[in-house]
Structure 1
């Protein structure tokens, strides 16, 4: 627990109010069952971070009211409501105050049901807002623990963006794989016509020892890819993980997506293992990247796979150009203009407003598939 900065509190006589924010991700680079430091099996994942969309929360605390007197807007954010109650209890105990009720308001622009961590983002933003109303800043470990209690499993959105193998059902880091991902350019799309994945209907799956060994080999290769900045090795790992995920998800377009990636010279593909979002991964240093991305967009369209977003994992031109040339005509941080109406990197794949990546589905509890 770290005290918030002085002066961050509300004005005199005002109800204690706090705010919080959390990002989303673009599915996983790796997901499976791994061994922890004690040799115990743990479901784990490595997410692909994506800047831009996120969830924001405002919590108005009402001291003296009953702890159950919590209201949430929108009213269907049940996991966020549980997170608010848990965070109030935690923060009240830390500050020696009685638990109370309050009002939580959530806003955000994360597409729902595609496996981009929308529910975890809501939960983390909520926990941070509640803590802020108490003038506390909870550690990532404490936020993760509350998030798992609120939704049974969570994504590592409370961390600092370093690539980690994260035990989503336990809210703990199994391994920090490196300081950062190598620069990637990603053409996002949706599979299964963008329909949300009903993870409750997925068949139960108990991995064999050979499966765990295969995932551990992918873990080793990903660690090496990050240590050496090898985008193509990273792409191979992500593709292998995505292909294993098809044993459960069975997206009908996956084979076509993998073929498109090979034909346009991409490093590989990645998917959300609990949703419909997917991405074609490019090394920004690849010659002719602009042409390759255009070809990818045309191929996706010809196969009826909706392109949604083109983005990068780097944020500054300096980071890109430091030994990694390849984006001729870079217009700014992470941008790539002139892609035949595709927008720039870090922007919607089609002009005409901030179109969501998937259908406008109502918020619902998002569960990761059983592994």
Structure 2
């Protein structure tokens, strides 16, 4: 999902002790650990003495919903420290340091967009499933009223041979779905995965979510493995897509499930065009700097800072510091 992200700026203080690091906001402890690890790695690579510095973080990823806010902060911090030393770390190095900083990491450091099976506690790719997921339309929502989930307090599931066989079956189905571009099969795998996740998460609205998805002609549902953010998945090639999506939105709201934003997984298929039809170009007035902006049709998840403008990437270091998104 394009939009939400984290931005970090790191300013080195040469001559200070490597552990003399300050971070703003002060509660971003995982990002602070990541910065300390990156200082040692990047200083060695650059042939410079390690030093302390100041890390500043900003962003608009909601916390505690399973959207990867901590990993976004950690990766931004790692890239910022690297930029301040003039070092661009390989994704494999970023993954290794991210796991050390936060125990388990999302694969956000992988920029090529390919779907992978990622060992989150090891920081390595086990399998590249294919070039891209089939295009999907996602109606986003939050369960539990959007309350954050304390993932560290969640119980650990007991795993036996039957679980391993079930996961391997889902892995095979997902591999086939990616190879054949089968959106319905992706939805089947996502729903099965979400259902197994309920053994830990136990969202009260899960069955309601599945029921709304079935009645609106969706291919399945997805739920964050460590939070409350969810989505209803549609095949963009399905007939009557706009009617299906609107029926889904109505059904979710009727059951008190807050909706967030509707988006597509394909950058070449804008959600607005799918839901509103293709734009009419004849007679359109070119947008100028004073053209009024129309409000978005779908509300978006926001934190107190608002906005959905942060983008990923690593611009060059400036004024002895570094930034990363």
Q: Does the CA-based 8 Å contact 2:46-2:86 persist in structure 1?
A: no
**CA distance in 2 between partners of 1:357 and 1:291 (Å):** 30
Structure with more helix by fraction: 2
In structure 2, the gaps of 5 or more residues are 281-293, 307-325
**Does 2:171 match 1:225?**
no
1:180 to 120, 124, 132: 132
Counterparts of residues 332-347 of structure 1 (less than 5 Å): 343-344=296-297
Q: Partner of 1:308 in structure 2?
A: 260
Deviations 1:170-228 (A, max 9, x none): 00001000111111110000011111122233222121100010000000000000000
- Alignment RMSD (CA, Å): 2.1
Mapping of 1:142-161 within 5 angstroms? 142-160=93-111, 161=113
Shift, 1:315, TM fit: 1.1
- Map of 2:143 onto structure 1: 191
Shift of 1:329: 1.2
What is the count of residue pairs matched by the alignment? 290
SS in 2 for 1:85: helix
Counterpart contact for 2:216–2:247, Cα < 8 Å: yes
Indicate the residue corresponding to 2:204 in structure 1: 252
> Kindly tell me: are residues 287 and 297 of structure 1, through their superposed partners in 2, closer, same or farther at Cα, counting changes over 3 Å?
same
Are residue 329 (structure 1) and residue 277 (structure 2) matched?
A: yes
After superposition, the C-alpha distances for 1:76-111 in whole angstroms (9 at most, x for unaligned) are: 110000000000000011122211011111111101
Question: For 2:18, what is the secondary structure of its paired residue?
Answer: coil
SS in 2 for 1:72: strand
Equivalent of residue 39 in structure 2, options 88, 94, 108: 88
Residue 97 of structure 1, aligned match among 48, 55, 62: 48
Structure 2 CA distance for aligned equivalents of residues 151 and 86 of structure 1: 12
- TM-score normalised by L of structure 1: 0.75
Q: Which one scores higher on RCO, CA 8 angstroms, separation ≥ 6?
A: 2
Shift, 1:357, TM fit = 7.6
Match of 2:12 among 57, 61, 72: 61
TM-score, normalization by structure 2: 0.85
- d(CA) in 2 for partners of 1:309 and 1:327? 12
Which structure's residues are more often strand, by fraction? Answer: 1
Query: CA-to-partner distance for each residue in 1:210-261, whole Å, 9 max, x for gaps?
Result: 0010000000000000000000000000000000111111100000000110
Tell me the SS of whatever aligns to 1:53.
Answer: coil
Look up the match of 2:238.
286
SS at match of 2:22: strand
Residue by residue over 1:59-90, the C-alpha shift from the partner in whole angstroms, topping out at 9 and shown as x without a partner, is 11111111111111111110000000000000
